Amino acid sequence: MNEPLPKPELLDRLLAAVEAAGWQTLIVERSHPFLLRLFKREEQGFLNVRIYVWNCTSGGRNRPADEYRVQLTGVVPKVATGETTLLLGWHEGYGVFVGFDIRKHKGQASASPSIQVKEASLLNAHNHAFSAYERANGEIAVCFCPEFIVEYALNLAKLHGFTAEDQAEVEILNSMDEVDEKEIMAKVRDRERREVIASIRRRYREHDFRRRVLAAYSATCAFCGLQLKLVEAAHIVPVAAESSTDETVNGVALCSLHHKAYDQNLLSFDDVFRIEISAAAVSELRRLNLVGGLASFQRSLKSAIILPADKRDYPAKPYIMERRRVCRWRP
Ligand SMILES: [Zn+2]
């Protein structure tokens, strides 16, 4: 059994979750319930999120062994306008959150208010990213891996709006790593819920691709060797192309700078993995008087990409060639 985490550490888990989701945070209120402002780089708009969070602790005496509970101690949850309110439990062992429907718990102030959590659902979220189940009061509880926290917050009402009659839909939420787009279209009749599930499914694929590619390259830029958590997973054949896939062999880990240079066709690599800088692009930049820093930029590049430790993760040659075709690479 893990020791319950103090509130500042729960805040750390929340901040790490938002970062894993690819968003940034401003801490507006550091005392519990936390108020965080979530935003994404330079994009317009943000989300004010009020977060009530407690540890999932073991059920205690007279409780089934496969049950945890979240004790709503210290504060009575309420909903404020202009804020998205999350009511969460964190399970340190499984590394997942469980989210409850605030509408069912606001103002809950009995002597020892607590919410039971099924261990099976926490485990399912740990293994399959996402999981939902119906509690005895008809409430839908949603368990999720940290990188889904923003997706959860954005779709809060719709996710908790699932009902027992939507069992097939709840099943799909429980197998995000297996369902495909067609199955979602076939099984989920309600349009709004279909969109939510499809959006979570897309997010799942993005995170899964990123996780595999960064693991294959030890979070190291294949062009320059940089780590420093400045490395991203780039698709070789871009996502927008019909022929794109989320296989690890259609990915390469690149630092933010080299990812951008790769996207802009300033850099590429050939089917024997040699890194090339586009002479055509450089001469165009020269014409625009925009070649400042070019020499050190060139010096930072390896002659060939740093390959994954496992040969099975090497970029696939057909994808390398396909990229050069669809992106109209100019040597
Ligand atoms: Zn780099």
CA of 43 to the centre of ligand 1 (A): 24
Q: What is the mean pLDDT of residues 254-261?
A: 98
210 located within any domain: no
Which one of 149, 166, 183 terminates a domain? Answer: 166
Which one of 143, 166, 189 terminates a domain? Answer: 166
CA of 226 to the centre of ligand 1 (A): 6
Q: What is the pLDDT of residues 113-130, one digit of tens each?
A: 788 888 999 999 999 888
The DSSP code sequence of 55-123 is: EEEE--TTS-TTEEEEE--S------TT-EEEEEEEETTTTEEEEE-HHHHTT--SSS-EEEEEHHHHH
Q: Are residues 32 and 146 in the same domain?
A: yes
CA of 254 to the centre of ligand 1 (A): 5
Q: What is the mean pLDDT of residues 48-56?
A: 96
Q: Are residues 284 and 144 in the same domain?
A: no
Q: According to the model, what pLDDT value does residue 134 have?
A: 83
Q: Is the pLDDT reported for residue 38 higher than 60?
A: yes
Q: Is the pLDDT reported for residue 249 higher than 90?
A: yes
Q: Are residues 16 and 155 in the same domain?
A: yes
Angstrom distance (rounded) from CA 197 to CA 182: 12
Nearest to 18 by CA among 45, 41, 43, 44: 41
Q: Are residues 256 and 123 in the same domain?
A: no
Q: Are residues 152 and 292 in the same domain?
A: no
119 located within any domain: yes
Q: Are residues 126 and 17 in the same domain?
A: yes
CA of 260 to the centre of ligand 1 (A): 10
Q: What is the mean pLDDT of the chain?
A: 91
Cβ-count burial of 78 within 10 angstroms (0-12 exposed, 13-18 middle, 19+ buried)?
Answer: middle
CA of 104 to the centre of ligand 1 (A): 49
Q: Is the pLDDT reported for residue 111 higher than 60?
A: no
Q: Are residues 18 and 105 in the same domain?
A: yes
CA of 125 to the centre of ligand 1 (A): 34
162 located within any domain: yes
Q: What is the mean pLDDT of residues 158-176?
A: 79
CA of 256 to the centre of ligand 1 (A): 7
Q: What is the pLDDT of residues 180-213, one digit of tens each?
A: 888 888 888 788 888 888 888 888 999 999 999 9
CA of 300 to the centre of ligand 1 (A): 8
CA of 263 to the centre of ligand 1 (A): 13
Q: What is the mean pLDDT of residues 135-162?
A: 89
Q: According to the model, what pLDDT value does residue 109 have?
A: 59
Q: Are residues 155 and 31 in the same domain?
A: yes
Q: What is the mean pLDDT of residues 157-164?
A: 80
Angstrom distance (rounded) from CA 86 to CA 216: 35
Q: According to the model, what pLDDT value does residue 2 have?
A: 64
Q: What is the pLDDT of residues 60-87, one digit of tens each?
A: 667 777 888 888 887 888 888 889 999 9
CA of 257 to the centre of ligand 1 (A): 6
Angstrom distance (rounded) from CA 317 to CA 205: 23
196 located within any domain: no
CA of 308 to the centre of ligand 1 (A): 15
Q: Are residues 153 and 22 in the same domain?
A: yes
Residue that has been written with the tokens 């930029």 in this structure: 297
29 located within any domain: yes
Q: Are residues 144 and 281 in the same domain?
A: no
Using only C-alpha atoms, what is the Rg of the chain?
Answer: 23
Q: What is the mean pLDDT of residues 271-285?
A: 97
CA of 252 to the centre of ligand 1 (A): 11
* Lookup: tokens for 30: 């550091």
Which one of 166, 187, 221 terminates a domain? Answer: 166
Contact residues for 1 (Cβ-Cβ < 8 A; gap 6+): 58
319 located within any domain: yes
pLDDT band at 164 (very low <50, low <70, confident <90, very high): low
CA of 245 to the centre of ligand 1 (A): 23
Work out how many domains the chain is built from and give that number.
2
Whole domain around residue 83: which residue ranges? 7-166
CA of 283 to the centre of ligand 1 (A): 22
CA of 219 to the centre of ligand 1 (A): 11
Q: Are residues 50 and 158 in the same domain?
A: yes
Q: Are residues 37 and 160 in the same domain?
A: yes
174 located within any domain: no
Lowest-confidence pick of 68-77, 144-153, 234-243, 289-298:
68-77
CA distances from 220 to 226, 241, 258, 261 (A): 6, 26, 12, 16
CA of 255 to the centre of ligand 1 (A): 4
CA of 227 to the centre of ligand 1 (A): 8
Q: Is the pLDDT reported for residue 16 higher than 70?
A: yes
Q: Show the DSSP H helices in the chain as ranges.
A: 7-20, 102-105, 119-128, 149-154, 156-160, 167-173, 181-187, 191-216, 256-263, 279-287, 294-299, 317-326
Q: Do 176 and 124 touch, CB atoms closer than 8 A?
A: no
Q: Is the pLDDT reported for residue 173 higher than 60?
A: yes
219 located within any domain: no
Q: What is the mean pLDDT of residues 126-152?
A: 89
pLDDT band at 165 (very low <50, low <70, confident <90, very high): low
Angstrom distance (rounded) from CA 94 to CA 216: 23
